[in-house]
Amino acid sequence: MSPQEAYKELEKRLKEVFLIQSCQAVLGWEERTYMPRGGTELRSEQRGYLAGQSHEKFTDPRVGELLSTVEGSGLTKDPESVEAVNIRETRYRYDKDTKLPKELVEELTRTTSLAEAEWATARQKSDFKVFQPWLEKVVNLIRKKAEAYGYEGEPYNALLDDYEPGVTTDDIAEVFAKLRGELVSLVARIKDAPRKPDASIVERVYDIERQKLFNEMVAGAIGFDFNAGRLDVTTHPFTSCFGPGDTRITTRYNPRRLNDALFGTMHEVGHALYEMGLEKKEHFGMPMGESVSLGIHESQSRMWENQVGRSKEFWVYFLPQAKRIFRESLEGVTLDDFYGAINYVTPSYIRVEADEATYNLHILLRFELERALISGDLKPADMPGEWNSRFKKYFDIEVDNDANGCLQDVHWSIGYLGYFPTYTLGNLYSAQFFAKARKDIPDLMQQFELGNYGGLLDWLRKNIHRQGQRYRANKLCEKVTGQALSHKPLMEYMNKKYGEIYGI
């Protein structure tokens, strides 16, 4: 068999795997949005079965044979060509996944499907004990996964690599250490600032149906294609892409707080725009049609949420429209008033509702706790007490209940240990990318004032989205910005922004 023939067969097999994974994604989305609670056990079996089938197909020895045939052939002569990237990244995934027993893959999928339902119940009741046995089961299975992968240093490295390939726990700890001191200093200066915005502006009554109307307006304006996606309601917002032409986003509404659904929606739209911008039709089921890493993915969502959505220029255009929709809730509110309110900084319980200045402290907390869980230094039963103690240290506020504490995030219930650090990586990447976009598009902020977001989206499509997995995250950052990832662009952005708002 020639390398070209082997490559064609490899493409065919990977497309079949992708179709199974797409069906898994549909079932997962529907479980979190419309499925009745009574369907949980059956759904766990359905998803577990499909996970096993997908794993079995992808780890078939024939895939390894095909990879061996194409590796070192003329197809890989140019290491940045489509074929070379697809071969390289498929080999990387294949070598990892063949280390996982099919039974473990199925059991983990079934267990997390059940655990997510129990987490939702526990969160609603604000009772960690309801979720505790499920967290114990998930952590045990995740440890087995790490052991199956193998690792150098600590087991958390094996899990982190699933979301941010090539990055180690030490890498994360080093970046976070540099960021932590400057963040704490900024938050302290804001706390003692001579002027404070009026946060009550965004905590008035905002009719949910009008919020839905406004959110759809904003989502469409910044590029979300409702002919290729939809917006629904869930407990914990997320984005699912089933393949070309079908990307789903979700949000949750609070009738007494405008920020929650609005910026949550913009965040998920950012994820969706990345998925919609990937060349999925051209590279169906192949690495060149997939995102680089969770950190890069998060950079897209945080950019649209923060650098765009929380900019003053964005609201030059959208505040008049918001006033027409929400009327008395925004009567007499000026642009400066509103801009200050949506950027109000204060320590708070909930990560997804946190301001930009304190957000990364939420991630640092979770990073520490995850490492301790996986290493065995922290037992699942002790999570509430440890969470509350560390939260007090970071934020200087007492956690009042489990729902506002260790039960607020869905991630551990679905087995996403190693995921949280990518949120802060995303913030770092987003600031660095956005600074470069502003240099490349000198009138970018003026475009925002006119309601034009296509310039930024086109820049992202060209520089990030259409690159697929051509480069690993750190190399992509250097290619796009000319510099390695640094915490400095993020801190420069935040120091300037909050300096103007708070007079510091």
Q: Are strands 246-251 and 229-233 parallel, antiparallel or unpaired?
A: parallel
- Kindly state the DSSP code that residue 279 receives in the 8-state scheme: -
Find the helix packing angle between 421-440 and 169-191, rounded to 10°. 70
d(CA 94, CA 352): 34
Of 106, 118, 268, 370, which is the active-site residue? 268
pLDDT one-digit tens code per residue, 22-73: 999 999 999 999 999 999 999 999 999 999 999 999 999 999 999 999 999 9
Three-class secondary structure of residue 34 per DSSP: coil
**Pairing mode, if any, of strands 246-251 and 239-243?**
antiparallel
Q: Is 428 exposed, middle or buried (0-12, 13-18, 19+ CB in 10 A)?
A: buried
DSSP letter string over 120-144? HHHHHHT-HHHHHHHHHHHHHHHHH
Q: Cβ distance 123 to 411 under 8 Å?
A: no
Give me 454's structure tokens.
């296509």
268 among known catalytic residues = yes
* Residue 222 · residue 447 · CB < 8 Å: no
How many other CB atoms sit within 10 Å of the CB of residue 72?
11
Q: What CA–CA distance (Å, rounded) separates 362 from 358?
A: 7
Torsion 423-424-429-435 (CA) sign? positive
Residue 316 sits at the vertex; the CA angle it makes with 312 and 318, to the nearest 5 degrees, is 105
| Domain 169-226+253-502 in CATH 3.90.1200.10 | no
Q: Which helix (H) or strand (E) holds 323?
A: helix 312-326
pTM score above 0.85: yes
Sheet holding 229-233, edge to edge: 229-233, 246-251, 239-243
Amino acid at 137: K
Helical residues (DSSP H) of 98-207, grouped into ranges? 102-125, 128-149, 156-163, 169-191
Residue 35 has a pLDDT of 95
Task: Compute mean pLDDT per 10 residues along the chain, 504 residues long, and list them.
Answer: 96 97 96 94 96 97 98 96 98 97 97 96 97 98 98 95 94 91 93 94 97 98 98 93 97 96 97 97 96 97 98 98 97 97 96 93 96 97 98 94 97 96 97 98 98 98 98 97 96 96 95
Q: Residue 241: enclosing H or E segment and its boundaries?
A: strand 239-243
